[in-house]
Amino acid sequence: MKRGDLFRRRLRHVLRLAGYELGLLGLAWSYLTRVPLPRKAMQFIRRKQYAPAQSTRYVPLAGIFIGAIAGAVFLGANELFDSKGLAIILALSAVLLVSSSSSSTSIVMFLVRFQALLLVPDSLIPSVLIAAHAFSQFGAASFITTNVQVEEDEKGTYKVLGKADTSTRDFMVMAFVGMMPLALVGSLLFLLLVPLLWVIRNLFGAWFIHKTGGFTNHYLALTQQLLEASCYLLVIIGLKYPLNVG
């Protein structure tokens, strides 16, 4: 085989793999956000018939994008209106508009996140938003890999929809992408998020699963919001009691 032919074969293989992974990313994006993908992209995803479980590896990456949008809104609004409080409200509102998992956000959770971000320095808020959304989306998605999904019917009973067949490799990729942005904040206190996730999964999650027999979209949204708020609160603690990397 000629060297040129071998190069073209390898290039086609790389492009196919890239297209496949981009399709999975698009599927995760369409599941987590209200921002529509281009029509051709959606047609490509439907044609490939991806298994939804495969897209979980990119859920934290979609969270990074959501956090980045919120961070950009904060920076722009803070510069335009010169009001930190208003900029935070607009940033959190942008998350509500963009994220499909935020439809059940309570006023209490919104106020907790707003008040916490008020105590974070302006320069750190975009990084904190990105890190918090990446980790919280990972934490919520981790339930998909180990539990069955249920749905409440008109009679108030829960029926099983199925369980995602997620590989160990997909989970490791999801965990890496979800935890990597925490380094943007630079506080070792963020290591406390790991046992916190364990507590939510094994205590609160066990109670909920015992009650319903699995997880629901509402439960995933609530878990994401709890972890997101926890990230903001840990930032405040870290600022008061510095424990920085290096």
DSSP string, 4-29: HHHHHHHHHHHHHHHHHHHHHHHHHH
Q: Predicted confidence band at 87 (pLDDT cuts at 50, 70, 90)?
A: very high
Cβ proximity of 100 and 33 under 8 Å: yes
Spell out where the chain has E strands: 148-152, 158-163
178-214 pLDDT, tens digit per residue, is: 999 988 887 767 778 888 888 877 777 777 777 777 7
pLDDT, residue 161, reads 62
83 found inside a domain: yes
Instruction: Give the DSSP letter of residue 215.
Output: B
Cβ proximity of 225 and 109 under 8 Å: yes
Quote the domain boundaries for residue 96: 54-240
Tell me what the mean pLDDT of segment 59-87 comes to.
94
| Prediction pTM value | 0.83
Q: Please calculate the CA angle 153-157-161 and round it to the nearest 5 degrees.
A: 65
Structure tokens belonging to residue 125: 């808020």
Closest CA to 227 of 4, 63, 44, 30: 63
5 found inside a domain: no
Q: How many domains does the chain contain in total? A: 1
Residue 242 and residue 147: Cα distance in Å, rounded? Answer: 37
- Dihedral, 178, 184, 190, 194 alpha carbons, nearest 10: 10
- Calculate what percentage of the chain has a pLDDT beyond 90: 26
pLDDT, residue 74, reads 97
Look over the chain and give the mean of its residue pLDDT values, rounded to a whole number.
Answer: 81
Instruction: Give the DSSP letter of residue 200.
Output: I
SS3 63: helix
For residue 149, pLDDT over 90 is answered with no
pLDDT, residue 159, reads 66
193 found inside a domain: yes
**CA separation, residue 166 to residues 34, 77, 147, 169, 223 (Å):** 24, 40, 11, 8, 20
SS3 187: strand
Tell me what the mean pLDDT of segment 157-165 comes to.
64
Residue 217 and residue 223: Cα distance in Å, rounded? Answer: 10
Residue linked to tokens 């997620």: 166
39 found inside a domain: no
90-134 pLDDT, tens digit per residue, is: 999 999 888 876 555 678 888 899 999 999 999 999 999 999 999
Q: Predicted confidence band at 243 (pLDDT cuts at 50, 70, 90)?
A: low
SS3 113: helix
**CA separation, residue 16 to residues 2, 41, 46, 57, 239 (Å):** 21, 15, 16, 18, 46
For residue 245, pLDDT over 60 is answered with no
- Stronger pLDDT, 171 or 149, i.e. the higher one: 171
SS3 246: coil
Structure tokens belonging to residue 96: 């509500």
Q: Predicted confidence band at 163 (pLDDT cuts at 50, 70, 90)?
A: low
Q: Predicted confidence band at 53 (pLDDT cuts at 50, 70, 90)?
A: low
Tell me what the mean pLDDT of segment 17-31 comes to.
81
27 found inside a domain: no
184 found inside a domain: yes
7 found inside a domain: no
123 found inside a domain: yes
Polymer length of the chain:
246
pLDDT, residue 64, reads 94
